[in-house]
Amino acid sequence: MARKFLYLIALLVVMVIAAIFALRIWQNELTRFAFVPRVDYARLDPLPADAYSGNRMWLARPGLGAGDPAQWLPAGAPKSVGGPGASAAVFFIHPTSYLARESWNGPLDDTDTNRRATYFVQGMASAFNGQAQVWAPRYRQAAFGAFLTDKAEGELALSTAYLDVRQAFDAFLAATPPDAPIVLAGHSQGALHLMHLLKDRVAGTPLAARVVAAYPIGWPISVEHDLPSLGLPACAKAEAIGCIMTWSSFAEPADPELVLEAYRTRPALDGKAKDAKPVLCTNPLNGSVGGSAPASANLGTLKPSKDLKSGELITKAVPARCDARTGLLMIGDPPDLGPFVLPGNNYHVYDIPLFWSNLRADVGRRTAAWEEARGGTAR
């Protein structure tokens, strides 16, 4: 009996090892199977012209009051940062929160999708709330699976989502004083839409002079094929204004192939195919292109609570190093922030929480520099 029991244990161990081995080999294929929609693309009508005139289509905006998730603060975080008045208006585009595969674009009334979007705005857009205003629109986002396929449906879904975001951006501009500084930010899918906004609405226009900084975080940007179309340079120093900060976080050892494959399958902003050259990496701990910084430079990593409704700031938790070979941001050994680390030690979901306090300080510092450069006349 004892021998049979040992044989059974040995068999179970072998099966577990085989399962782990299979998951490592086919994890990308299994991810696609789990998330890519298997339905025909359903073309959506444009939103009504006044869709963003009220509160209904905004997750965050001035006037929402205590229910505004972007106004949340972890314990110990100061309410205001930057220069007197904290004058910038922030437009933040949340990442993908529609994970189902029943359609290519997330419905606006899906409860789970909206709950996740609210958590994202709380944990990410809150890093920007030291400024005067934070606006975060709801939009018919592309499904998570749209990024895992080269099917035409994926691009159609992203185009539909972008039209909603562009409409929200125009409403944001209409509600903002024409001489006020603005901060533009987005994560993941939101970063991709922000890149298109910069190209379509900002580059080469007077609006570019109002941009304190843009933060398209969590989506790779080609230095050669994307950056020139954005109309703003990368942030070369911590006090620079009118520039771009971006990074994609991986613990080590890192396996970024799934992310880089999704990035390379889409045409660059100049219409050309992307190559294997390093992508743009600005370091959130030093506020400039490239380089490395120790964990001691990290002012506060936001560790979410298990229910995602709160969190705590942990100082000196995570270093940051821009990898010269890939352009991705390496954060050393995997930190324990929660269960949402993606395959390959990809800390994509935590791109902003990893550096929450440094990002908050970065926005405040650049806004103060923008005000000083214009004689302190911003309002």
- The DSSP 8-state label assigned to residue 199 in this structure reads I
Whole-angstrom distance, CA of residue 338 vs CA of residue 183: 29
pLDDT for 86 equals: 66
What are the structure tokens assigned to 300, written together? 């506060």
Adjacent-strand bridge partners of 217: 187
Q: Can you give the pTM of this predicted structure?
A: 0.89
Q: What is the pLDDT of residue 253?
A: 95
Six-digit token pair at 167? Answer: 């409409």
The answer to whether the beta carbons of residues 195 and 184 sit under 8 Å apart is no
Structure tokens at 349: 């979901």
Strand partners, 304: 311
Residue-by-residue DSSP string for 8-47: HHHHHHHHHHHHHHHHHHHHHHHHHHHHS--S---PPPPP
Note whether 72 and 120 are within 8 A (CB): no
Q: Helix, strand or coil for residue 244?
A: strand
How confident is the model at residue 250, as a pLDDT?
98
Helix (H, G, I), strand (E, B) or coil at 121: helix
| Tokens representing residue 4 in the block | 């049979």
CB-based contact 211:202 (threshold 8 Å)? yes
Delimit the domains of the chain by residue range. Answer: 7-36, 40-373
Provide the token pair at 90: 């922030």
Closest CA to 169 of 139, 213, 212: 139
Are 149 and 258 contacting, i.e. CB atoms less than 8 angstroms apart?
no
- Rounded average pLDDT per 10-residue block, the chain, 379 residues: 42 33 39 66 93 96 92 84 70 96 92 96 96 96 88 90 98 95 97 98 97 97 96 97 98 91 86 87 97 97 91 96 96 95 95 98 96 71
| Residue 105, beta-bridge partner list | 142
Nearest to 158 by CA among 109, 217, 104, 226: 104
